[in-house]
Chains A and B, each alone.
Chain A
Amino acid sequence: MKPLATLTDDEFSQLVGRAVRELPDAPPALQKAAIALWPAAGPGAVLSALAAAVVAQIQAVLTFDSWTVPAVAAGMRSLRSPTRHLLFSAQGRDIDLRIVPEAGSFALAGQILGPDESGSVQLEGGGTPRSAVLDGLGEFRIEGIHRGTYVLTLQLGGDSIVLPSVEVGEPLA
């Protein structure tokens, strides 16, 4: 992408055309609804009241997946650990997740590293949602999970942290 200052007149004109065509106004109803999100607080509203007006929901980001680490030498793939190790981060918390194969199913074991002293996790996908409470070390374990796609949500200190969906087991062909 060239800086605006280096564009020729023709290039600048084309870019303006794209700006008009690719950035249309959002429908007025959407704009109005977004403006209405403002909490009905008068002037001088304190920050904390503003923060509390909307439930915090945070999207965690995947930072490591042991199954996507490239093999360093031929034949390494066959040695891949059956336990998959995933790391996520979300606003000051690190989430360490392990998917461990068991007899005919899997266990999801994890630990939350962060400022929260308590919390819970909920696993959705593959039928009835499952949940677990963090222990004193911020650890949890959910067993008897079948192959499939799941979404894990953490409730920590007033925040709801949603992890990207996780494939448990080898993806079905």
Chain B
Amino acid sequence: MTVHDSPEDDAALVDRCRRGDATAWAALVRRYQRLVYAVVMRAGFDEHGAADVFQTVFARLVQHLPKLTQPDRLQAWIVTTAKREALRAREIGQRTVSMSRDEGDESPGLEDTLADEAPQAEDALSELQQLHRLRLGLDRLDERCRELLLLVFRDEDEKLGYDEVARRMNMPMGSLGPTRSRCLDKLRRLVEAV
């Protein structure tokens, strides 16, 4: 899969959407689904609540596309909209259920970070956008590098030993470290070039 992450490319996708290109819309959804999902999940919604807010954000985007005056600011618009929709859903009590969080979940909750316009909330959103930039960079890496980094950086409860990663990658264990470093260098160059 090829993903382009430059602001110009967002603008081009928006332009294609405006001309009725359904494939451009699908590309936008795929590009931003992780970011929207992350913001919504940080609000602590259950599966159904998260699904509602997730859909609402993309419905807002369909509605807003014709009026979007700065397509190169699309990411910021999406993050702000996701935050507001999550807060709105909580405020009016629709689909708000247990706000309990899984033990071991280190990511900050929306109530801690996104619940207002305070500077720390904006910092949290900026950080999330930086993580998203890296995630899109991973999508643009060659398949072998992407697969290796995704295996190495899996969740703690799914973490694999180096021997298992080496087996799955069909490479000698001794090559894993240097290959991992080279892939991280590639990723850094990719995201810094954007």
Q: Which residues of A, 27-41, contact B by the 8 Å Cβ criterion?
A: 30-31, 33-35, 37-39, 41
B144 within 8 A of A: no
B37 at the interface (CB under 8 A from A): yes
Q: Which residues of B contact A50 (CB under 8 A)?
A: 17-18, 20, 62, 65-66
B64 smallest CB distance to A (angstroms): 9
- Mark B101-114 against chain A: 1 for CB-CB distance below 8 A, else 0: 00000010000000
Contact B131 A43 (CB under 8 A): no
Q: How far is the CB of A60 from chain B (nearest CB, A)?
A: 10
Chain A residues, CB < 8 A from B37: 23-26, 30
- Of all chain A residues, the one with the shortest Cβ separation from B127 is A1
The answer to whether A23 and B62 touch (CB under 8 A), given A37-B55, A162-B88, is no
Interfacial chain B residues near A164, Cβ < 8 Å: 88, 91
Is B33 an interface residue, CB under 8 A from the partner?
yes
Bound: A118/B130 CA distance, A: 43
- The docked-state distance in angstroms from the alpha carbon of A17 to that of B148 is 12
Closest to B42 in A: A22
Interface mask (B99-136 → A, CB under 8 Å = 1, otherwise 0): 00000000100000000000000010011101111110
In B120-158, which residues have CB < 8 Å from any A CB? Answer: 123, 126-128, 130-135, 138, 149-150, 152-155
B43 within 8 A of A: no
Q: Per-position contact with A for B6-35: 1 when CB-CB < 8 Å, else 0? A: 000000000001111110011001100111
Contact B55 A24 (CB under 8 A): no
Bound Cα distance from A15 to B128, whole angstroms: 11
The answer, among B18, B19, B135, for a CB contact under 8 Å with A19, is B135
Is A23's CB under 8 angstroms from B135's CB?
yes
In the complex, the answer to whether B58 meets A37 with C-beta atoms within 8 Å is yes
**In this complex, what residue of A is CB-closest to B26?**
A35
Contact A1–B126 (Cβ < 8 Å) = yes
A105 interface contact, C-beta 8 A: no
Binds A, one of B69-77, B166-174, B183-191: B183-191
- Tell me the complex Cα distance, A43–B55, Å: 24
Contacts of A22 on B, CB cut-off 8 Å? Answer: 38, 107, 128, 131
Find the A residue at minimum CB distance from B90.
Answer: A165
Chain B nearest CB from A161 CB (Å) reads 11
Q: Which of A35, A51, A57 contacts B67 (CB 8 A)?
A: A51
Which residues of chain A are near B59, meaning CB under 8 Å? 37, 54
Residues of A within 8 A of B126 (CB): 1
Contact yes or no, B20 A43, CB < 8 A:
yes
Residues of A within 8 A of B130 (CB): 1, 4, 15
With a 10 A CB-CB cut-off, give which of B18, B30, B58, B150 has the most chain A CB atoms.
B58
Enumerate chain B interface residues (CB-CB to A < 8 A): 17-22, 25-26, 29-30, 33-38, 51, 54-55, 58-60, 62-63, 65-67, 84-85, 88, 91-92, 107, 123, 126-128, 130-135, 138, 149-150, 152-155, 181, 184, 187-188, 191-192
A-B contact pairs, 15 of them (CB 8 A): A1-B127, A9-B184, A15-B134, A17-B152, A20-B135, A23-B34, A23-B38, A23-B131, A23-B132, A24-B38, A26-B33, A33-B51, A43-B21, A50-B17, A59-B85
